[in-house]
Structure 1
Amino acid sequence: MTPADLASLIRDTAAGVLSSRDLDISVLPDPVVVERPRNPEHGDYATNLALQVAKKVGTNPRELATWLAEALAEDPAIDEATIAGPGFLNIRLAAAAQGEIVAKILAAGEQYGHLDIYAGQRINLEFVSANPTGPIHLGGTRWAAVGDSLGRVLTAAGAQVTREYYFNDHGGQIDRFARSLVAAAQGEPTPEDGYGGDYIREIAQAVVEKQPTALDGTPEQVQETFRAEGVEMMFAHIKESLHEFGTDFDVYFHENSLFESGAVDKAVQTLKDNGNLYESDGAWWLRSTDFGDDKDRVVIKSDGDAAYIAGDIAYVADKIDRGHDLCIYMLGADHHGYVARLKAAAAALGYDADQVEVMIGQMVNLLRDGEAVRMSKRAGTVITLDDLVEAIGIDAARYSLIRSSVDSSLDIDLALWASQSSDNPVYYVQYGHARLCSIARKAAELGVTADNPDLSLLTHEREGDLIRTLGEFPNVVKAAAELREPHRIARYAEELAGVFHRFYDNCQILPKADEEAAPIHTARLALAAATRQTLANALGLVGVTAPERM
């Protein structure tokens, strides 16, 4: 019996108890909250349902809890139901009912933990979207890991997710990039506002090798050649780095297309027509304060050029018009102002502001021997995705970036994450999976199978701890999806690995050399198989490999 199953049983039982006393059952919450007590001695699970609804039905919590305890105790799935404090209900499951979790996991396989809470919803998830003017820095790398994991989690929760990269190929930063390439190709110093680093010289050289006449022509022609070729090469490198990192996208959306297609002009005209764009001092302003922003925003400048927000407005419209029910933007630490701005843009265009959601990620710092690592070998001024992968590997890089909330800044100790020890969280979790695979291989050698296990035999304290931890996985996925917090999956994986290792140290899973396989060995092997599956599913949701050997 999973926590969700228990919650349903408690609610149904409560409905029966209230109905039998002519009390209002409409006050019952759905779902009922079921939690694991901090102190295992209090029971397997606990609920505060009686405290929630007693007053609403005209009784006191302990009395209602007594009624519920008596009724629940009659169910064969419940071993014991006791009352604590002012009306908490502590519950112990019967061994057979608890063992059902193992059977459910083995039956569900790779689908265990998958939900339908977002079934039918189309979600546009935009992340990374780094300018194609240099390699992906650490902030973008964090989003590459977290965004990909969030996409996996939302998909597991039933959503149809479009992973999107917004390709910033319009504006001043591209001009500065092109000028930097030209200067490098001509052997001149980097422009004052330009981009430096070995990668600029490498791309400039590649452009000349591809087009030997690239430096011929007017300054405008030369810059356009380096702009077109350089951006394409830089973005190809970005895409390759992301792919090797395990992060791929369904859509690469070009910002410039919004201007070339007339989408920006169309959005501006819509805002003019509905009165949400007004003219002042020769410029056109969005009435964004009417929709929760802290100030109105210039959309068309007094010189007639579009401000940056013009593209943002057209992009919001494009995303929603493509049929997305929700558009999630994952932006960097310096983009706090975009939260209200993008919601205001959607509302001003006539959409529901709640169709736009903005996540802000904080900075990442690398540490070596307690000191900050500040410079990339190739990029010069920033640490890049490639630098991090080179230092600690893909799995460690992804896991280290995902396992903490994006709301807080993150320090990554390179020595720790490169180590092969239990202090390294990803190594600890992966080692747990590899150990479980080793058990399965040894069982096959001994001819021991997990077929038709008697799961009611799993009564050891460590077995119960492991089963209840396994049962929490769907709730963890649900919370990770609803709160947009994939780090919950990583932390759960660590907890599960720890609970499994304690189980392994206390419970003999396979028969010893001079023993015959007994029913308890079959049951424990089934429990180990369920653990292996759940650990693999969790690692899959964070995009980290589940090795069979280490």
Structure 2
Amino acid sequence: MTPAELSWTVLSTVRRAVAADELRVAVPEKVVVQRPPRPGCGDYATNVAMQLAGQAGRTAREVAEILAVRLAKEPGIAQVEIAGTGFLNITLSARAYADVVRQVREQGADYGRGDGLAGETVTVVPEPPHAPRAALVAEVVNGLLRAAGAETAAGGRLEGLSAAEPAQDPGARGLGPDATRWSLLRPPAEDTPRPGPALLDQREANPLFRVRYANARTRALLRNAHDLGVRVEAAARDPYRHPAETELLGLIADFPRVVETAARRRAPDRLARHLERLGDAFLRFQDECPALPKGDEKPSAVHAARVRLADATGIVLADGLHLLGISAPDHL
């Protein structure tokens, strides 16, 4: 279940509560669900009860209690808890997580593309040649807009697009196209990029290296799984329960929303930061959840499920890098 699907589920729950006269409110056009700010608060959270409380003439917690009972019965939802004055914290079921992996592997590079901006037409032209960062941001935003379903056309200036140009650094010469792109796209638009040779370092302190290394590790896991006889394509109900697995799955499921938000906000840095979080989560998963049998251990359904999760992670990492115009090699 992706955040978009969960948002639709919450919205449908509100609609049914209104139809049953449990709530007397105007059904909103959309409901926002987000990853919670800290662990232990479910997989997603929504403040829909707070949005509706005033109209309903009830407290936000009373509205949340009505919605929680209905939401907990929805397929793909394992648990709903009420936090604070009325936040709904939603935990997805193992089956919902398995569906995310299946969707990513079936859709491949199309995963993350959507129609959230369908019907919108925007015009984009690069800034003058003396503004290299603005030109690059315009190019990448163009691609993000198309990925989110918008129609793009040449001949105008994209509203809201501006970017501080990079500080001159003699050490930045020779970075190459991938590191140069990352150095210009990763900082928020208002921040001045400071490209330097550290972006070429093959070590943990370099975020671009971590993202590309994580992608390469997913491909290596697939190759090794094949050599060890792990039946990756065997049908099974994937038992994703470990916190490192669910954290990784949440970030994968959130990828389509991140692409759309980056397009709406004209902010490629949002996508770059998400890839960092995804890459770091995969490296934690790799350490905490062995995906390959060791020694005389026989390949199991758990190994196969984890290799499928690694494959889905690699698909999303590569797709995100390609949206930024950065290569995603299988070997580093």
- Relative to the length of structure 1, the TM-score reads 0.58
Report Cα offsets for 1:20-64 as digits up to 9, x if no partner.
Answer: 126435x23232111121222121111111111022022221111
Q: Which residue of 1 aligns with 2:186?
A: 403
- For the residue of structure 1 that corresponds to 2:88, the secondary structure is strand
- 2:218–2:314: 8 Å Cα contact kept in structure 1? yes
Q: Which residue of 2 aligns with 1:392?
A: 175
- 1:105–1:533: 8 Å Cα contact kept in structure 2? yes
Q: Which residue of 2 aligns with 1:85?
A: 84
Report Cα offsets for 1:263-322 as digits up to 9, x if no partner.
Answer: xxxxxxxxxxxxxxxxxxxxxxxxxxxxxxxxxxxxxxxxxxxxxxxxxxxxxxxx3xxx
Of 418, 425, 430 in structure 1, the residue corresponding to residue 212 of structure 2 is 430
- After superposition, the Cα gap between the structure-2 partners of 1:85 and 1:545, relative to the gap in structure 1 and judged at 3 Å, is same
Report Cα offsets for 1:35-94 as digits up to 9, x if no partner.
Answer: 121222121111111111022022221111111111122224221111111111111111
Q: Which residue of 2 aligns with 1:363?
A: 165
Counterpart CA distance in 2 for 1:361 and 1:22 is 49
Q: Which residue of 2 aligns with 1:156?
A: 147
Q: Which residue of 2 aligns with 1:514?
A: 296
Deviation (angstroms), 1:453: 4.6
Equivalent residues in 2 for 1:35-434 (5 A)? 35-130=34-129, 137=130, 140-162=131-153, 319=155, 327-329=156-158, 357=159, 359-367=161-169, 373=170, 388=172, 390-412=173-195, 414-434=196-216
Counterpart CA distance in 2 for 1:79 and 1:114 is 27
- For the residue of structure 1 that corresponds to 2:274, the secondary structure is helix
- 1:417–1:424: 8 Å Cα contact kept in structure 2? yes
Deviation (angstroms), 1:517: 1.3
Counterpart CA distance in 1 for 2:86 and 2:11 is 16
- After superposition, the Cα gap between the structure-2 partners of 1:429 and 1:22, relative to the gap in structure 1 and judged at 3 Å, is closer
- After superposition, the Cα gap between the structure-2 partners of 1:450 and 1:144, relative to the gap in structure 1 and judged at 3 Å, is farther
Q: Which residue of 2 aligns with 1:448?
A: 230
- After superposition, the Cα gap between the structure-2 partners of 1:39 and 1:122, relative to the gap in structure 1 and judged at 3 Å, is closer
Counterpart CA distance in 2 for 1:95 and 1:419 is 38
The residue type paired with residue 536 of structure 1 is: A
Deviation (angstroms), 1:432: 0.9
- For the residue of structure 2 that corresponds to 1:495, the secondary structure is helix
Deviation (angstroms), 1:423: 1.5
Counterpart CA distance in 1 for 2:303 and 2:326 is 30
- 1:453–1:523: 8 Å Cα contact kept in structure 2? no
The residue type paired with residue 91 of structure 1 is: I
The residue type paired with residue 17 of structure 1 is: A
Unaligned stretches of 5+ residues in structure 1: 131-136, 165-318, 320-326, 330-356, 368-372, 374-386
- For the residue of structure 2 that corresponds to 1:114, the secondary structure is coil
Which deviates more, 390-399 or 469-478?
A: 390-399
Q: Which has the higher strand share?
A: 1
Deviation (angstroms), 1:109: 0.8
- Relative to the length of structure 2, the TM-score reads 0.94
Counterpart CA distance in 2 for 1:69 and 1:510 is 39
- 1:453–1:519: 8 Å Cα contact kept in structure 2? no
Report Cα offsets for 1:321-354 as digits up to 9, x if no partner.
Answer: xxxxxx334xxxxxxxxxxxxxxxxxxxxxxxxx
Q: Which runs of 4+ in 1 moved over 6 A?
A: none
Counterpart CA distance in 2 for 1:68 and 1:498 is 34
Deviation (angstroms), 1:121: 4.1
Of 271, 277, 280 in structure 2, the residue corresponding to residue 498 of structure 1 is 280
Of 525, 546, 550 in structure 1, the residue corresponding to residue 307 of structure 2 is 525
Deviation (angstroms), 1:149: 1.4
Counterpart CA distance in 2 for 1:23 and 1:42 is 26
Q: Which residue of 1 aligns with 2:257?
A: 475
Counterpart CA distance in 2 for 1:488 and 1:509 is 30
Of 463, 487, 492 in structure 1, the residue corresponding to residue 245 of structure 2 is 463
The residue type paired with residue 149 of structure 1 is: V
Decide which structure has the larger Cα Rg and report it.
1
- 2:113–2:147: 8 Å Cα contact kept in structure 1? yes
Counterpart CA distance in 2 for 1:457 and 1:127 is 47
Same amino acid, percent of matched pairs: 36
Asked if 1:17 is matched to 2:17, the reply is yes
Counterpart CA distance in 1 for 2:151 and 2:37 is 36
- 1:453–1:526: 8 Å Cα contact kept in structure 2? no
- For the residue of structure 1 that corresponds to 2:31, the secondary structure is coil
Q: Which residue of 2 aligns with 1:8?
A: 8
Counterpart CA distance in 1 for 2:327 and 2:72 is 43
Counterpart CA distance in 2 for 1:359 and 1:76 is 41
Report Cα offsets for 1:124-163 as digits up to 9, x if no partner.
Answer: 3111432xxxxxx5xx32134322211211111123334x
- After superposition, the Cα gap between the structure-2 partners of 1:420 and 1:150, relative to the gap in structure 1 and judged at 3 Å, is same
Counterpart CA distance in 1 for 2:84 and 2:120 is 42
Deviation (angstroms), 1:485: 0.5
Counterpart CA distance in 2 for 1:52 and 1:469 is 26
Q: Which residue of 2 aligns with 1:190?
A: none
- For the residue of structure 1 that corresponds to 2:328, the secondary structure is coil
- For the residue of structure 1 that corresponds to 2:167, the secondary structure is strand
Counterpart CA distance in 2 for 1:115 and 1:92 is 24
- For the residue of structure 2 that corresponds to 1:420, the secondary structure is coil
Counterpart CA distance in 1 for 2:54 and 2:37 is 26
Report Cα offsets for 1:491-525 as digits up to 9, x if no partner.
Answer: 11111000000000000111223122111111111
- After superposition, the Cα gap between the structure-2 partners of 1:76 and 1:358, relative to the gap in structure 1 and judged at 3 Å, is closer
Deviation (angstroms), 1:452: 4.1
- After superposition, the Cα gap between the structure-2 partners of 1:424 and 1:22, relative to the gap in structure 1 and judged at 3 Å, is closer
- After superposition, the Cα gap between the structure-2 partners of 1:403 and 1:10, relative to the gap in structure 1 and judged at 3 Å, is same
